[in-house]
């Protein structure tokens, strides 16, 4: 392709081009096996070595303490909506859910099949453009866990730091923020993420869990969702998503080689600031999320009217700025600028918005 396409999809999202080139170069002959990585046994010496290496790189990137296990699972983040209550609660327990968007809502709805759900905060009244004042939230004293979504992908709302830790296990859906900035794993007892945004291709799901939560799964827990079983079998109780895991490993290598998460955070801040500044100074567009709650990864904006939004999206697509349509639930526009989106992609979008602004006002 002679002209560059910038893909602003919320997920599956773009991957670093250096990673894709590496995949291409070893697609037919991985690790001198004469076979593609897709064709080798997950129990082969080479693949097991890849898995060990992958875990150690992710451990380094996230600075994971030694009393936490990393699991490489399937079923997406949605699979974890059930796995969490099944693994760390009993049917008579209560769990507190903080709802700041549709993913937290979905997680809470699914959990209702397994335990009592106490929704302690729900930002639906602001149309999910705000974050709750946690000083005003009354948590259950005996909750099995607290669940929240640090970055809500659809509405573009993000907590910029972890919630204060109490003695209750803290569980976080990090699907659309993991690896975008350094995180203090010790502020959580369990984090999880589908891969298809900042980790790699869809199919892989990462869980990082404090060891003291293992060994509590209910007897009805399906094996593939059972954290204890998966931990004991090094995430290979059954066949893992080998291609996705391999590509994720290349992404971990790329992140380490380019300065790790401190450096990534600086770049992500620069990208997000550039785009928010452009939207805030536009006569046509606005960002509905209050400034203190704005996501670094998913930048939601709207135009004065639907017709103008339609024109914007059509023209943007023709200019190779793809997948800027907002989530089907809320419309408008959304630019997802995960790690793999280069600053040049954001600069090109900003130029396009500025130009559109001039032409249509």
Active-site positions read 103, 173, 197
Tell me the CA distances in angstroms from 292 to 28, 130, 133, 156, 231, one per residue in order. 48, 8, 12, 12, 38
Read off the tokens for 270.
Answer: 């620069």
Name the minimum Å distance from CB 43 to ligand PLP: 26
Taking the complex as a whole, how short is the minimal distance between the CB of residue 197 and ligand PLP, in angstroms? Answer: 7
User: Beta-carbon neighbour count of residue 176 at 10 Å?
Assistant: 30
What is the size of the binding site for ligand PLP (CB under 6 A)?
11
From residue 158 to residue 187, what is the string marking binding to ligand PLP with x (rule CB under 6 A)? ---------------x-xx-----------
User: Quick one: the chain helix, strand, coil %, rounded to 5?
Assistant: 40, 15, 45
Among 76, 200, 203, 240, the residue binding ligand PLP under the rule CB under 6 A is 76
Helices 260-280 and 343-360, axial angle in degrees (round to 10): 0
Using the minimum distance from each CB to ligand PLP, give the nearer residue, 40 or 193: 193
DSSP-assigned beta bridge partners for residue 72: 206
To ligand PLP, the closest distance from the beta carbon of 133 in angstroms equals 22
Within 248-287, the residues that bind ligand PLP by CB under 6 A are none
Among the listed residues 31, 36, 44, 78, the single contact to ligand PLP using CB under 6 A: 78
Q: Which is nearer to ligand PLP, 11 or 30 (CB)?
A: 11
**Which parts of 204-233 interact with ligand PLP (CB under 6 A)?**
none
Q: How far is the CB of 150 from ligand PLP (least distance, A)?
A: 8
SS3 label, residue 220: coil
- Closest to ligand PLP by CB, 46 vs 110, is 110
Minimum CB separation of residue 11 from ligand PLP in Å reads 5
What CA–CA distance (Å, rounded) separates 202 from 197? 8
The verdict on 149 binding ligand PLP (CB under 6 A) reads yes
CB 269 within 8 A of CB 296: yes
Of residues 90 through 109, those in contact with ligand PLP by CB under 6 A are 103
Neighbours of 181 (CB within 10 A): 18
Task: Give yes or no for residue 11 binding ligand PLP (CB under 6 A).
Answer: yes
Candidate list 77, 83, 171, 300; residue touching ligand PLP; CB under 6 A? 77
Which of 37, 23, 62, 4 lies closest to 256 in space, CA to CA? 62
| Number of Cβ within a 10 Å radius of residue 292 | 10
User: Considering beta carbons, is residue 105 or 357 the nearer one to ligand PLP?
Assistant: 105
d(C-alpha 301, C-alpha 156), whole Å? 9
Residues that bind ligand PLP in the complex, under the rule CB under 6 A = 11, 76-78, 103, 149, 153, 173, 175-176, 194
């Amino acid at each position: 392709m002679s002209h560059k396409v910038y893909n602003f999809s919320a997920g599956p999202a773009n991957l670093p081009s250096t990673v894709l080139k590496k995949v291409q170069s070893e697609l037919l002959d991985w690790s001198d096996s004469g076979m593609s990585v897709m064709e080798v046994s997950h129990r082969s010496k080479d693949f097991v070595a890849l898995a060990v290496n992958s875990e150690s790189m992710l451990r380094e990137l996230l600075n994971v303490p030694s009393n936490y296990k990393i699991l490489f699972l399937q079923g997406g983040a949605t699979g974890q909506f059930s796995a969490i209550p099944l693994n760390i609660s009993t049917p008579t327990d209560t769990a507190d859910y903080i709802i700041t968007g549709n993913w937290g809502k979905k997680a809470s709805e699914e959990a209702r099949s397994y335990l009592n759900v106490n929704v302690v905060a729900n930002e639906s009244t602001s149309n999910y453009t705000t974050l709750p004042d946690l000083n005003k939230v009354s948590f259950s004293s005996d909750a099995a866990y607290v669940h929240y979504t640090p970055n809500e992908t659809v509405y573009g709302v993000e907590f910029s730091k972890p919630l204060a830790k109490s003695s209750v296990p803290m569980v976080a859906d990090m699907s659309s923020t993991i690896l975008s900035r350094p995180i203090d794993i010790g502020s959580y007892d369990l984090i999880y993420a589908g891969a298809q945004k900042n980790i790699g291709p869809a199919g892989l799901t990462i869980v990082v869990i404090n060891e003291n939560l293992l060994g509590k799964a209910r007897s009805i827990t399906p094996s593939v969702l059972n954290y204890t079983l998966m931990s004991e079998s090094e995430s290979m109780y059954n066949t893992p998503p080998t291609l996705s895991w391999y590509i994720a490993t290349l992404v971990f290598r790329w992140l380490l080689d380019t300065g790790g998460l401190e450096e990534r955070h600086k770049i992500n801040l620069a990208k997000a600031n550039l785009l928010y500044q452009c939207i805030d100074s536009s006569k046509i567009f606005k960002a509905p999320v209050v400034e203190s709650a704005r996501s670094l990864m998913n930048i939601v904006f709207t135009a004065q009217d639907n017709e103008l939004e339609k024109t914007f999206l059509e023209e943007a697509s023709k200019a190779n700025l793809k997948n800027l349509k907002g989530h089907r639930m809320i419309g408008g526009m959304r630019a997802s600028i995960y790690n793999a989106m280069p600053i040049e992609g954001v600069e090109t979008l900003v130029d396009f918005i500025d130009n559109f602004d001039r032409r249509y006002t």
